[in-house]
Amino acid sequence: MKRNIPQEIQPLKALQEFTPARIAIGRVGTSIPLKQALEFKLAHAHARDAVYSELDINNLTDLLKLFSLPVLHLQSRVGYREQYLQRPDMGRRLNEGSIELLQEYHNQTDVAIIIADGLSATAVNKNSLGLLQALIPQLTGAGFKLAPISLVEQGRVAIGDDIGHGLHAKLSLILIGERPGLSSADSLGVYLTYGPKPGLTDEARNCVSNIRPGGLSYSKAAKKIFYLISEAFKRKLSGVELKDNAGLLES
């Protein structure tokens, strides 16, 4: 028997205005309505597709020419996607060919920008350029010397330690696809690490997440990232010891 619950007695209904989360979706008998059930399955399919998506290397390389910086194509020790999902440790380190490529660069730099697929290349393909267009002018305007931009396939967050260290950068900044959720398969995360070197763990990093049109905007994310980078250089540290005292982001 179908039972419709009047909107005025659904206390969570008003919250739908503020979140894409599945709340106050109603029910039919002991189940959820068909439309919402199908939407859930579609969102799950989008999340799975994002995990197996690939970096659009050629297009990203062309788009990154906008910044007049060399673009390096690097690879983790992972050989194929299933291995990436099963062996996170291999996604955290560069393969031998990539290590040799970085050895060609000897100049000291301030910031190494790294773009890696992570768990959603879809997020990177959609959002990395927009974020960098908002961020890089702030960095260069403040006098930071940028290393070549690295495009990394099958990479995890910690691979930024190898790359930043190899490029003699004081700070590594990795843009990476976050684990897709059932309300967002295109969420970009950014992790920064002062003094990058192999062997660091997550407490050494700061993170700004949910960067996408439906989440944290490019301009607000860039402002927050620039603040953290500036503070990291001022204090010569990052991670749990670097507190964000800039206040809450405006909605």
Q: What pLDDT, on a 0 to 100 scale, did the predictor assign at position 247? A: 64
Residue 177: partners with Cβ closer than 8 Å, 6 or more residues away = 50, 53, 116, 117, 118, 119, 120, 121, 122, 123, 124, 187, 188, 189
Which residue ranges in the chain fall short of pLDDT 50?
1-2, 8-9, 251
Q: Positive or negative, the Cα torsion across 66, 71, 77, 79?
A: positive
| Per-residue pLDDT reduced to its tens digit, 60-88 | 999 999 999 999 999 999 999 999 999 99
**Domain 57-241 CATH (choose: 1.20.1440.230, 3.40.5.10, 1.10.760.10, 3.40.50.11240):** 3.40.50.11240
User: Which tokens hold the place of 204?
Assistant: 């050494």
The reported pTM is 0.85
- Can you give the pLDDT at residue 3? 53
Cα distance between residue 163 and residue 186, in whole Å: 24
pLDDT at residue 34, rounded to an integer: 82
CA–CA dist 206, 173 (Å, integer): 10
CA angle (243, 222, 127) in 5-degree steps: 125
Q: Where are the domains of the chain?
A: 7-51, 57-241
Q: Which strands form 71-75's sheet, in the order they lie side by side?
A: 71-75, 149-153, 109-118, 169-177, 188-194, 205-211
Question: How far is it, in rounded angstroms, from Cα 182 to Cα 77?
Answer: 29
- In degrees, rounded to 5, the angle at the alpha carbon of residue 211 between the alpha carbons of residues 208 and 216 is 90
